[in-house]
Amino acid sequence: QVIKCKAAVLWEVNKPFSIEEVEVAPPKEHEVRIKIMATGICRSDDHVVTGALVEPFPIILGHEAAGIVESVGQGVTSVKPGDKVVPLFVPQCGECKSCLNTKGNLCMKTDLGTTRGLMPDGTTRFTCKGKAIHHFLGTSTFTEYTVVHESAVAKIDSAAPLEKVCLIGCGFSTGYGAALQTAKVEPGSTCAVFGLGGVGLSVIIGCKAAGAARIIAVDINKDKFAKAKELGATDCINPKDFDKPIHEVLTEMTGGGVDYSFEVIGRTDTMTAAFACCHYNYGVSVIVGVPPAAQNITFDPMLLFTGRSWKGSVFGGWKSKDAVPKLVDDYMKKKFVLDPLITHTLPWTKINEGFDLLRTGK
């Protein structure tokens, strides 16, 4: 049965979202149709609006959500109608090289880094005004109903509050895992976190959970410092307050550089600064923010030669289908908090207001 429902469609770059009636096709073999109950707004969605992340239009964005299974296609065994679930923008097929390797989590079936905007079979499940609408990262959560592949959905605890655990679909898991999984932050270490949005704050939660002794939060918006301190930052610094480059400030503050640094903005200049501020011999720097399209980094190779490591992290290094239910369980056991990451709750038809709040740093 085709479902007619409302969705926020982005027709072209740099335009507001348009609330439209869309038709959502039933799930095909190994697909799941989900009623979306809560979705977060992530800067990666905004990167598509501005063109920094190149995707095909028209498109239904959104990738951080939680919902309830409405129906399943043939052959689906891991979820059934009525189950509470989190869609996964990094799927876990269980068969590709990344899925089979204990060190990997970026399933080769992901749409990240491609510009397909389609289901794995090369077609779409969304139609609006007679036009085919593209999917985003295999999830597309800015709609009342969506269809995902079975490898891109995780069943979670039926008691979990969906308006909170939707954050485990992207922002929280991405930051928390970057600290715990990718960097493997150690007790007593010193960390620097560039960018104090929801993901940056989640990195701080992860660094604190790992036992870091010093967590230096870096942002040009000082309004973000109070929350960073509440979640575990020991120092907060604003690069605008200094005459010298921020990596020099951090190197001096820490007597030679931090053990771990994290870039959680998605800018090449801050990526280089984060890399330069970690210890010249054993520092580890992790890129968490999505890099802008068509920009390269130029840096002195001596920064690497002396022993630093530069890493990237997508979805916090977690194998999604395995990790998301466990992270939800940890939240239910109060091993970490999510409430401080939620600043506003809006009816989803006010999605454009939500994006304005994101863009103004609120």
User: How far is C-alpha 295 from the geometric centre of its chain's CA atoms?
Assistant: 21
Measured in residues, the chain has a length of: 362
Note whether 265 and 194 are within 8 A (CB). yes
Residues 218, 223, 226, 228, Cα dihedral to 10°: -40
Percent of the chain with pLDDT over 70: 99
pLDDT of residue 110: 84
User: Which of 116-120, 157-161, 297-301: highest mean pLDDT?
Assistant: 157-161
**Tokens, residue 305:** 């030669």
Domain 3-171+317-360: CATH class, spelled out: alpha beta
Average pLDDT on 283-289 reads 97
The domain locations on the chain are 3-171+317-360, 184-312
pLDDT of residue 293: 79
Arch. (CATH architecture) of 184-312: 3-Layer(aba) Sandwich (3.40)
**DSSP structural state of residue 73:** -
Q: Is the pLDDT of residue 244 over 90?
A: yes
pLDDT of residue 295: 85
Spatial separation of the C-alpha atoms in residues 94 and 334, rounded to whole Å: 29
**Tokens, residue 286:** 């992790």
Average pLDDT on 317-327 reads 98
* Selection from 131, 91, 111, 127 nearest residue 7 by Cα: 127
- Report the SS3 class of residue 302: helix
Q: Is the pLDDT of residue 95 over 80?
A: yes
Average pLDDT on 69-87 reads 98
Q: Is the pLDDT of residue 111 over 90?
A: no
- Report the SS3 class of residue 154: strand
Question: Backbone phi, then psi, for 153, in 5-degree steps?
Answer: -145, 140
Report the chain's mean pLDDT, rounded to a whole number: 96
184-211: pLDDT as tens digits: 999 999 999 999 999 999 999 999 999 9
Average pLDDT on 313-319 reads 97
* Selection from 349, 362, 290 nearest residue 17 by Cα: 349
Reported as a pLDDT band with limits 50, 70 and 90, residue 335 is very high
Note whether 91 and 107 are within 8 A (CB). yes
Spatial separation of the C-alpha atoms in residues 239 and 220, rounded to whole Å: 6
- Report the SS3 class of residue 326: helix
pLDDT of residue 19: 97
pTM, two decimals, is 0.95
Enzyme catalytic residues: 42, 44, 47, 63, 170
pLDDT of residue 199: 97
